A = this chain, B = another copy of it.
Amino acid sequence: MVDGRTRRRTDTRQRLYEAAMDLIAEHGFSATTVEDIALRAGVAKGTVYYNFPSKNALFEELLRHGVGLLTADFRAAAGGLAPPEAVLALIRAELAYIERHRSFAQLLLSEMWRTNREWHQTLQLLRGEAVDVIAQVLRRGVDEGHFDAALDVRMAAAALFGVCLVVAVDWLVFEPDRSLADVQGALITVIRARVGI
């Protein structure tokens, strides 16, 4: 099933994914050259074009791959839990994902709300799937009386997704030495805190 050829090719693609992720997160899509990606992945430029039809396509598959993993993590984290615990689990899952895929998180944050790009549509769709998992949990929480009935579920889901992203990337950029557990704790305290407004 997993013959040597396929494994080899998968490896190459994986290395290209990672290289592209790091570079695009650092410099942005336009400022990252295909040659740089190939160099960082340790392959020839031709190999990039053997494996992907274009720079855009590489990036789009990258997005699909990365967001797909996040959505899967979300589903696994929330599955079978009561809404309050599920929300906590989702926060933990998002932070853990961001720690594991730092570059990708930065990339998402930079490109998520950028319109007028070829892959904008794709990204919106993918994001929608991830945020939907959160929204479903919140909706169930409202229905079952755990959460305030006045809650705008869609907005709350987007907000929750967004805060985690922003806080986590902030942490990675400014306080990389702080532990994930600590950040997680502080963030949950912030979300929990009655700010009394």
Docked-complex contact A152 and B190, CB < 8 angstroms: yes
Among the listed stretches A1-9, A62-70, A157-165, which one makes contact with chain B, having 4 or more residues with CB under 8 Å of it? A157-165
Contacts of A84 on B, CB cut-off 8 Å? 195-197
Instruction: Tally A residues with Cβ within 8 Å of B.
Output: 52
Asked if A155 and B186 make an inter-chain contact with CB atoms under 8 angstroms apart, the answer reads yes
Interface status of A71 (Cβ within 8 A of chain B): no
List the B side residues contacting A150 at CB < 8 Å: 189, 193
A111 touches B110 (CB 8 A): yes
Instruction: From B27, B141, B195, give the contact of A116 (CB < 8 A).
Output: B27
Q: How many copies of the shown chain assemble into the complex? A: 2
The smallest C-beta distance from A157 to any residue of chain B, in angstroms, reads 10
Task: Verify B27–A28 contact, CB threshold 8 A.
Answer: no
Spell out A's residues near B (CB within 8 Å): 26-31, 84-85, 87-88, 106, 109-117, 141, 146-148, 150-152, 155-156, 158-159, 162-163, 165-167, 169-170, 173, 183, 186-197
Q: A28-B28, A148-B189, A165-B166 are in contact. List 8 more A-B contacts (CB 8 A).
A: A84-B195, A109-B113, A115-B173, A148-B193, A148-B195, A155-B167, A155-B186, A162-B163
